[in-house]
Amino acid sequence: MNISNWLHRQAQINGARPALYLGRDVVADYAQFHAQAAAVAGWLAAQGVRPGDRVALFMKNTPSFLVLLYGIWMAGAVAVPVNAKLHGREAAWIMGDAGASLAFASAGLAEDLEHALPQEGGAARVILADHAGLSQVTSHKAIAGISPREAADLAWLFYTSGTTGRPKGVMITHGMLSAMCLSYLADVDVVTSDDAALYAAPLSHGAGLYALVHVLMGARHVCPVSAGFDEGEILDLAAHHGRVHMFAAPTMIKRMTAHAQAHGLTGQGLRTIVYGGGPMYVADIVEAVAVFGPVFVQIYGQGECPMSITALSRADVTDRSHPDWRARLGSVGRAQAVVEVRVGDDDGQPLPPGEVGEIMVKGATVMPGYWQNPAATAKTIQNGWLRTGDMGALDALGYLTLHDRSKDMIISGGTNIYPREVEEALLTHADVHEVSVVGRRDPEWGEVVVAFVVPRGGAALEAASLDAHCLDRIARFKRPKAYAVLAELPKNNYGKVLKTALREMLAGEGGVTYL
């Protein structure tokens, strides 16, 4: 089934229901949303775009993004959403690799993209997605009918963040998207037509994936006027619209919490914040729940199994009465309904509860493979199981706790040390705002633990104080051998800490200030 059928059905029965908002202002009801998307599909067909062709979206968060996304699907084409924070050359490379014939780009991004495309071998035609550029597209004669698509047909080509090289294109099918949405309703949250999805994280990634289930249920879709993430704007829109759902990375929640505390806010209007995309430390989520209340649900997924490996329920995130509440809060929850999850050894064989190994997943939301990359596909999917590259352990009740990416694990003196455990300990120190732990080569131990710390509010950190704090919470051999102070941690466009950059700093020793 073509996933855009969900929009068609909402337009049939709830056409007058408000659908798309820019800030506080409604810009389209469901009938208008559908009509504009159908016009986009008609325009694409007139340009020679055929089912299976790739069309890129290099755009900031605007209502037009959703109109174009659904228009692409109605035409039977494949959407290639590209994070608007990427450099023009990075976007051009993705479009060239995807073989995109067309690209819709926001003002300010289109120019950079057009300049970069010839340098990266891309040949996409760039359409400026401003009012004038889109009016021609959305006023075109609508497509006669939604292009038929099967569950196995490609719908979304998602490019990984590529922190260790060129990104790979994850093939996401119509069937995967359907299963992901139904699993959301079963395992993550209930959605009704009274709800509003607020898009503060990039629509090219998790936030955009969650738009689908909100279309299915006829909810409202709100794009901030800033077209991005601003803590004050987000909290103001939540209070205005009410019953707001949003997807947020842990760094966003940390910033929202600090803003709310500084301004005496409680998150009025927030109904659900689904968090994922990076490690959420226990100290941070405890503080966020104290400020905003029981609005949080955690998910764990990858582009290769979008948004749907595990979920930690609202009840588990909020509960402080269960004897194991802290361990559960440090986990990423239990397997979602549409997948099986196991922890395996080097050969992929399942390990017993409590043992750390590679997290593996199989099910309806696992990708069929990487775009035009059979070697990477064969390495990642083995005997039907997706090998995530993440290390973790399952407990006897099925709660999965992440340790680290396998490449991030530190082996010191022949003993495995998982950076997250050290980071969790340091983050409970009153003067530590952020921390990231990596291994540094050592002739005696092989590797030693080094912690990069960002002080809270300009505090003066002392190595002795951090040492004592760690020794009260973790084994002595896990304690960092050195602490390096930074004003901020290096992060990629998705808010993830770049441990590769930290390792490069250690290797060069330049610019590293130790306590």
pLDDT band at 119 (very low <50, low <70, confident <90, very high): confident
For the segment 343-370, what is each residue's pLDDT rounded down to a tens digit? Answer: 999 899 999 999 999 999 999 999 999 9
Write down the pTM of the prediction. Answer: 0.84
* 360, 383 contact by CB (below 8 A): no
Q: What is the pLDDT of residue 163?
A: 42
Evaluate if residue 493 carries a pLDDT over 70. Answer: no
Q: What sign does the dihedral 34-39-43-48 (CA atoms) show? A: positive
474: its two tokens: 């973790």
Nearest-CA neighbor of 104 among 132, 76, 125? Answer: 125
Domains recognised in the chain with CATH numbers: 409-514 (3.30.300.30)
405 confidence band (pLDDT: 50, 70, 90): low
Edge-to-edge strands, sheet with 18-22: 25-29, 18-22, 220-223, 196-198, 244-248, 270-275, 296-302, 305-312, 334-335
Which pLDDT band holds residue 499 (cuts at 50, 70, 90)? confident
Distance between CA 24 and CA 248 in Å, rounded?
20
Rounded-to-integer distance, Cα 26 and Cα 18, Å: 7
**Average pLDDT score, the chain:** 92
Beta bridge partners of 447: 441
